[in-house]
Structure 1
Amino acid sequence: MPIMQARVRAAIQSTWKGSSGIRWRDALAYIESDKIGLKYLRMGEVIGEDIFPFSALADISIKIPDEVKSDPELPYFGLKFYLPSGEKTLFLTIGKNMLIYDEKTFKMFVHKIFEVLINGAPVKLLLARMRGGALNMEAKWQDGVLKIVVVRSIRRARKERNIIVLAEGRPVSLFADMEDLDIEEIEMGDRKVEAWKIKHFFENESVVSYLLVEDKKLRLYILRYLLTYRKDYVELLMKAAEEFPQIKAEFQEELERELKELGGLDEMEQQVLMALYSGMDPLTLHEMFGISEKELEDIYDRLMDKGLLKLVMIRKVVDLTREGRKLVNKMMKYGMGMM
């Protein structure tokens, strides 16, 4: 019995020799515990079926090229599989006929895929290892499982769907109020492991916990879920995403898109942003770069027009805006504008 079904439009892109292009087809998509299936329809009759086992799933929620989309206004979802016949990318969307297709059901179907992949997956948690800036010697490693539920974000004062850890029956929300995520080697019993070091809000204070996710695919699914449903987490997830080239490539593409939308940043503008980010005096940067005060003020004006700087005081005392800091974080990550 399927866990969920939805009417979709589906297309498959294959690396198999002899295959070329893609063709969108009407289908009934269904999810079972170990696979996604497609029953192709014509005039309401099933005329064929494809099955994609989760054991062959290589990536999920992948970026879909615009040239593949039949209608850019519709929602899309992509999955990549490594099958014996070669690499296959499954694209899903809906049609415009709302008597047949339902956008809300489609989005629920996509979310259900993540639930099947993530819910019940085993992890290990070292909760609140650091509290108040000091080691918490009472913290011990616990066995846990992941679960996607509706949680309340204390900082944003709202409810949202997110991933929690059920550790010894106790729900722990690591990601709803996450402040930072890094990777660190830490002792677990008689061995050292690389775990996610997560700074988050817990019991009315900021703490640091460690989450060990030993399955690489599961780490990918978690990252893809957070990137899909919490787009404001991009900067926080960059370190954890380093082991996945496909996500890094998407980050790089997104940065290039942002720069293009800003009209591009020339080399001097990038250098100025980096200098301000590092805390240098905005009034003396012209001396460092060997330019006149007027040239520096012109650069500041251009960056303020792009929303990356704000005027703090007269005489062009400026500071980075939130968007400016986010952009510099990405530039540093990809070696752009390095001084």
Structure 2
Amino acid sequence: MTGKGGTGKTTVAAALALALADGGQRTLLVEVEGRQGIAQLFETEPLPYEERKIAVSHGGGEVYALAIDAERALLDYLQMFYKLGSAGRALKRLGAIDFATTIAPGLRDVLLTGKACEAVRRRDKRQRPVYDAVVMDAPPTGRIARFLGVNEEVAGLAKVGPVHNQAQAVMRVLKSPETAVHLVTLLEEMPVQETLDGIAELRSAGLPTGSVVVNMVRPRLLDEEHLKAADGHTAEMARAFARAGLGGARRGGHAERLVAPLLEQGREHAERVGLERGLREELHAQGLPLRELPLLSEGVELAGLYGMAGELRAQWQTTTGGRQP
């Protein structure tokens, strides 16, 4: 799940994880930016570097969460491929790991995506996937293609050996039919433009796009037709206000004073509706499914998060014949 900053991608990622867990499934919600946004949403303690159950969905499904730390992921990597358990810890004490991930920023992305893909590939004793779905709260759309595609560059640089094999394995997961990159946006010009750019970059990189989730959709109160019907009837509206006792008419006030500001607000709302209609058309033109989540005026609490999950699941089932998001 990616999106421009401020569009609510972490919230939508959490709602998607809950939706996917509905009906007894098990999902893993992964965070890679170190902001502890998942812990805040679920009103729990900061997540450690371990998979921890944080919620139960409707139907008894379970949501686990993991905050991936690049340094710890590198230690896992050194132990897994080079059996450097104690030596890796010594490197950490010497600051070598911070040095490595600082001078090679791409290495950090390799470690983050690699840890998430390991969770995707993991099997239990019966060779069944440990998780039915893994949802990543990924970096913003401005760098999502680079973030997900860095393993391909690494695989090209390291022609043989564990690094090459690990990078290839990660790219097989990321480019497989099991993976989809969903984009979160608002019906505003800058987020929509960044979403369009992100879709183009993902497609150019051969990474699978899923759907566009339009978040914080405001209710439509008026459209141009209603406004046209009201325009030119200012006096009539003022008399109607007065009859209803509005505008202080019973105390000698003037209902006319209310009409002009209300009409102006109506015009602004109608313009907003027109702008949003155009932005929706731009998003529809990308050929991706479009989902919409309403604006929660009270803010996002746990109840609202579960409500968003139910809305997402209902929309996916309606448009995909009951298939999972």
- Decide: shared fold, TM above 0.5: no
Task: Tell me which protein shows more helix as a share of its residues.
Answer: 2
Higher relative contact order (CA 8 A, sep 6+): 2
Q: Which TM-score applies when normalising by structure 1?
A: 0.25
Q: Which TM-score applies when normalising by structure 2?
A: 0.26
